[in-house]
Amino acid sequence: MIESRIDTWGRTTVPAAVRKTLGAKPGTRLAWHVMPDGYVLVRAKSTSILELAGIPKSDVTVDIEDMNPWRD
């Protein structure tokens, strides 16, 4: 298990092994999601909305319940 410590200002360092796996560089944004069971999901936001421009529309629809399976 990889760990880090929160300092007195509420900051933490993302361990080098995690940064390498994510391909995270200075300026990479992290999205934090607190789950109902107390776990925290941290996701590197790597896709810009500008990169999605021009993607063809899809006829596939997804229910809100399927998008958020961890919510009650």
Could you please report the per-residue DSSP string of 13-72?
A: PPPHHHHHHHT--TT-EEEEEE-TTS-EEEEEE---GGGGTTPPP-S----HHHH-TT--
Q: Is residue 67 in some structural domain?
A: no
Q: Domain range spanning residue 16?
A: 1-46
Q: Is residue 55 in some structural domain?
A: no
| Strand, coil or helix: 2 | coil
Of 38-42, 52-56, 58-62, where does the model show the most confidence?
38-42
Q: What is the per-residue pLDDT across 2-52, written as a single tens digit (0 to 9) for each?
A: 999 999 999 999 999 999 998 888 988 898 999 999 999 988 886 666 666
Determine contact, residues 24/17, Cβ cutoff 8 Å: no
Q: Is residue 65 in some structural domain?
A: no
For the chain, how many structural domains are there in total?
Answer: 1
Q: Is residue 11 in some structural domain?
A: yes
CATH number at residue 27: 2.10.260.10
**Residue 42 dihedral angles phi and psi, to the nearest 5°:** -115, 130
